[in-house]
Amino acid sequence: MNKNKMDVDFPLGAVPASHRRGFWKMFVVMLGLTFFSASMLSGGTLGMGLSMKEFIWIVLAGNLMLGAYTGTLAYISAKTGLSTHLLARYAFGEKGAYLSSFLLSATQIGWFGVGVAMFAVPVQKVTGLDTYLVIGIAGLLMTGTAFFGMKALTILSFIAVPAIAALGGFSAVTAVGDMGGIQELMSYQPAESIGLAAALTICVGSFISAGTLTPDFTRFAKTKKTAVSTTVLAFFIGNSLMFLFGAIGAIGTGQSDISEVMFLQGLILPAIVVLGLNIWTTNDNALYASGLGLSSITKIKKSKVVIFNGLVGTILAMWLYNNFVGFLTVLGAALPPIGAIIVADYFILNRGKYKPFEKMAFKSVNWSALAAWGAGVALAQFLPGIAPLNGLIGSALVYVVLSQLAKQFQASKAPSIELEKVRQA
């Protein structure tokens, strides 16, 4: 067993049946992923710019999109046992997948930095300690537990998920009471409205990076049903609740930052403990996923990569925290096309069946996939509407069309090549 310990997270191959997990263990891990305090910040932003009825519809629509997207990726990963980064090799080619792995890993390092700063800011307010000192200590501690992989993620999730649900629920009830009741909450009208397309972009973009990395976790599911059901349920329950807690707190206090909300409600001490646990859980997920990605590129042991990623995220924490909305915009444009291309490659071009990873001879670079990714990013950036959705649909369509054209081109060249061989003979 000690010999295999270094590869227990299988960064460079499929997860064997002996290491697969049942519904409840997978559900807790996925809830730990979606119960992220930064989602409360996004929820607060939406709460300040939408009526409550608009907010409910936006969150339901956004999580429906996320659930469909992540559930589909979960199905593929459970069937193949492969992470996002290894699945990307089928569509992008072995070296072409380095681009997607780098982008996904970089954004997860970014989320880690946001989480560390979200913990450090309220701690500084209560203790008076230097913010950067707190960031440094928290970043190192979180990196330390991420070193141990899926086992540590499961244990942390069992503790953090019920704790954040209880604190967030209490904060929301307090905010509603301070407003004068549910009727006042439902009649709230924002001073400055957010457009519905922009609101959906924030809702979907806030978790699209983690959603694209769903296979990194669901490849451990025993069955495809377990992978899909735990993923969809986790996104609807976890993400919806976190958005709701953030929105109600923001409406009740006028502050979109959850640490400010807790401070005004006199909950800052329990918030430090509970939000700290919650952020710790999601940050470990982020470092775990980023470690898999950069390990697939560098072939360096995942645990070593995790330590490096944690240090980078810690150093950049305050910058990421102060540029959060811009960070979401980048995520919403660049990441959805990667998952969409994987889905299109698996279900449309390969009809739901891949050759086993260890027997596959991958192309070096699939230029059709890279071109489709670029087109998806452009469509998300410049086409009117919902940016992540534009990127998802556009990149998938472009990829299928380019792949079919490339296939026809190769077929048309085949007779000429054969004729040339006959002439040379």
The CA distance from 118 to 121, in Å, is 6
Give the tens place of pLDDT for each residue, 50-86.
998 899 999 999 988 899 999 999 999 999 999 999 9
More confident residue, 260 or 240: 240
pLDDT for 425 = 55
The CA distance from 57 to 46, in Å, is 12
Check pLDDT > 50 for residue 2: no
Residues in contact with 149: Cβ distance below 8 Å, sequence separation at least 6, in sequence order = 8, 9, 288, 302, 303
Check pLDDT > 70 for residue 332: no
pLDDT for 88 = 95
Using 50, 70 and 90 to split pLDDT, how confident is the model at 1? very low
State the amino acid at position 198 in one-letter form: A
Most confident of 65-74, 180-189, 292-301, 333-342: 65-74
Q: Which residue ranges make up each domain of the chain?
A: 2-324
More confident residue, 103 or 258: 103
Return the SS3 of 135: helix
The CA distance from 210 to 283, in Å, is 11
Return the SS3 of 390: helix
Check pLDDT > 70 for residue 266: yes
Q: How many CA atoms lie within 13 A of 425 on its CB side?
A: 6
Out of 1.10.1060.10, 1.10.4160.10, 3.20.20.70, 2.60.120.10, select the CATH number for domain 2-324: 1.10.4160.10
More confident residue, 257 or 255: 255
pLDDT for 91 = 95
